[in-house]
Chain A
């Protein structure tokens, strides 16, 4: 579904990615792990259209998406979350959710004056959907608060819920459980695997090995900008290079 081959990206003289590749098959939850600074988030930024790769192939369902704008990607069914939550702080939690609804006629300014019946009807539907998603992560009671007032973990949950508002085919999650309580983390892990069963494909960057072990297969290991290896959790953890990459980084 999502294919990345030989992607390279430099920032100034620094090679953040160099020969990085992975393949996310439909209906899987693909895990991406690796030491800090391995280039995982940079890879998501490239896939997500924040900046194009210097070289390499990025394809979504066989179609090149290298350098395609994020809003176009959303239209193709790809949405991502950010490692450091990017909530729209001055908007309420609910408004953050409603914004993510697709195909809203009311986003044309004139439609709010000339086709307000239609806009109202769509708005009610978007709201019902947002409410169901917020209730699921226990944020509905905060729906009217400005999003900047949420706690770190709640912001993460909001961001994931907001991504789900788009009814995406594939979601890229950058450390979804960072800062989320163990209890909510477990619930989130369950929710993600349910959503996978409903047909949504995931690629997840995570440092939480419990989550990786439980739901991710295959798992790709990135280190120093390249794909080191991939396979099931057992295969990956048995690989000596992987241990070296993690430990070597710590030792250095």
Chain B
């Protein structure tokens, strides 16, 4: 049981990083990313391939994966937003995400297709005994979540964070006030992309084996649920949201113990139903999510000095 909780906590952690990336892109910046699963796969495959084929260590493979997904996301934003209205952006991300998944599935020479990539190395593997490794992995993943939240909160409180939210609220006003909207959007999407790359790397480290089925589009729905449940733009809330979604998902495995006659197909259906019911309950009782986005609260009574 303890080990189950630990493993589940690790899963929650890297799911939370993925959801945080979405919360930055969509929650704060208003850029819908329906290609999340594909970019997530790109991050995991990039990390794995950098190690397996490129000979990089886990640290540089992670950095490389972050850079690759950031560039991919940035390119999608540049190319799409330059030529079309932003309304089409969501569709393009969907297409690109699907394409990335198909590449993973079909380009056998690179990704071994449906067989997947195995033998993925883990960070700190040489330093710890295998029996206690899951604790180290959990600590590492939790640290990555904390670092991500710290980074995003820092951005949210900065002038850049204001631009991010302004572009979401009304891009015409942002432009009228002198902000380069396209450039802002490229950066929003690329920064989110780097975080997706991080989540993908953690995913690869945890499973040590990746194949295309792990990155199906249902991942996108879960990530959106986590963000909506936690509150758009509220990064701490996303951790809560991701925890709830993953607990509901994984917890429904226990249904098999309670009702042994369930087939695995029925079980899969029940998981989706539980998630759906949970989401509906949330939208009824707390449509704005658990937590609220950061808002500057200045000291109004004091002198003209105040802390940021």
Q: Please, how many angstroms separate the alpha-carbon atoms of A48 and B177 in the complex?
A: 11
- A127→B306 contact, CB < 8 A: yes
* Contact residues, A36-83 vs B (CB, 8 A): 48-50, 69-71, 74-75, 79-80, 82
How far, in whole Å, are A111 and B158 apart by their CA atoms in the complex?
Answer: 9
Q: Is the CB of A79 within 8 A of B176?
A: yes
| Listed residue (A94, A107, A123, A166) with the most chain B CB atoms within 10 angstroms of its CB | A107
* A184 CB–B CB distance under 8 Å: no
A74 to chain B, nearest CB (A): 3
Contact yes or no, A166 B154, CB < 8 A: no
When chains A and B are docked, how far (Å) is the Cα of A144 from the Cα of B294?
12
Chain A residues whose CB sits within 8 angstroms of the CB of B295 once the complex forms: 91-92, 95, 144, 146
Give the complex CA separation of A87 and B177 in angstroms. Answer: 12
Task: State whether A144 touches B296 (Cβ < 8 A).
Answer: yes
A239 at the interface (CB under 8 A from B): no
Q: How far apart sit A168 and B165, CA to CA, in the bound complex (Å)?
A: 23
Verify B158–A90 contact, CB threshold 8 A: no
Give the distance to chain A from B92, nearest Cβ to Cβ, in Å.
22
Task: Answer yes or no: B179 CB below 8 A from chain A CBs.
Answer: yes
**Which A residues lie within 8 Å of B168 (CB)?**
90
Assess whether A151 is interfacial by the CB under 8 Å rule. no
B166 at the interface (CB under 8 A from A): yes
Provide the residues of chain B in CB contact with A237, threshold 8 Å.
none
**What is the size, in residues, of chain A's interface with B at 8 Å between Cβ atoms?**
50
Residue in B159, B160, B180, B187 whose beta carbon sits within 8 Å of that of A71 in the complex? B180
Of the listed stretches B48-56, B79-87, B129-137, B297-305, chain A binds B297-305
B interface bracket (residues with beta carbon within 8 Å of A): 20 to 34
Bound Cα distance from A20 to B162, whole angstroms: 37
User: What does the 1/0 interface line of A108-144 toward B look like (CB < 8 Å)?
Assistant: 1101110000011011100110010000000011011
B160 touches which one: A79, A106, A128 (CB < 8 A)?
Answer: A106
Name the contact of A94 in the complex, choosing from B155, B175, B298 (C-beta under 8 A).
B298
Check if A90 sits within 8 Å of B293, measured CB to CB. Answer: yes
Q: Does the CB pair B176–A119 fall under 8 Å?
A: no
Q: Are A108 and B160 in contact (CB under 8 A)?
A: yes
Q: Given A90-B293, A94-B298, A112–B160 Cβ distance below 8 Å?
A: yes
- B176–A91 CB distance below 8 A: no
**Bound form: Cα–Cα A202–B275 in Å:** 56
Report which of A100, A112, A141 forms a contact with B158, defined as CB distance below 8 A: A112
Q: How far is the CA of A165 from the CA of B293 in the complex (A)?
A: 25
Q: A94-B296, A144-B297 are in contact. Are A70 and B176 (CB under 8 A)?
A: yes
Assess whether A100 is in contact with B160, with CB atoms less than 8 Å apart. no
* Chain B positions within 8 Å of A102 at CB level: 178
CB distance B159 to A106 under 8 Å? Answer: yes
Judging by beta carbons under 8 Å apart, are A69 and B160 in contact? no
Given A127-B306, A131-B304, decide whether A86 and B173 contact each other with a Cβ distance below 8 A. yes
Q: A109-B187, A109-B191 are in contact. Are A75 and B178 (CB under 8 A)?
A: yes
The 8 Å CB contact of A88, one of B155, B159, B160, B165, is B165
**Binary flags per residue of A163-207, CB closer than 8 Å to B gives 1, else 0:** 001100000000000000000000000000000000000000000
* Interface flag for B172 (CB, 8 Å): yes
In the assembled complex, the CB of A186 is this many whole angstroms from the nearest CB of chain B, namely 26
Tell me, yes or no, whether A248 is within 8 Å of chain B by CB.
Answer: no
Q: Indicate whether A107 sits within 8 Å of B175 (C-beta atoms), given known contacts A71-B181, A112-B155, A144-B295.
A: no
User: Given contacts A70-B175, A100-B178, are A124 and B305 in contact (CB under 8 A)?
Assistant: yes
Once the chains bind, are A109 and B160 in contact (CB under 8 Å)?
yes
Residue of B nearest to A103 (CB): B178
Q: Could you say which residues of chain A place their CB within 8 Å of the CB of B308? A: 120, 123-124
- Cα distance, A82 to B177, chains bound together (Å): 12
Say yes or no: A99-B300 contact (C-beta < 8 A), given A71-B179, A123-B308, A144-B295: no
Residues of A within 8 A of B177 (CB): 71, 74, 79, 99-100, 162, 165-166
When the two chains form their complex, are residues A119 and B158 in contact, meaning their CB atoms are under 8 A apart? yes
Q: A86-B173, A88-B166 are in contact. List 8 more A-B contacts (CB 8 A).
A: A70-B175, A71-B177, A95-B296, A98-B162, A101-B159, A123-B308, A144-B298, A144-B300
Q: Which 7 A-B pairs have the closest CB atoms?
A: A74-B178, A106-B159, A70-B175, A112-B158, A88-B169, A104-B159, A100-B177
List residues of chain B with CB under 8 Å of any chain A CB.
Answer: 154-155, 158-160, 162-163, 165-166, 168-170, 172-181, 187, 191, 293, 295-298, 300, 304-306, 308
List 16 interface pairs A-B (beta carbons < 8 Å), by A numbering: A50-B172, A89-B169, A91-B166, A95-B165, A99-B159, A99-B166, A99-B174, A111-B160, A112-B154, A112-B155, A112-B160, A119-B159, A120-B308, A127-B304, A144-B295, A144-B298
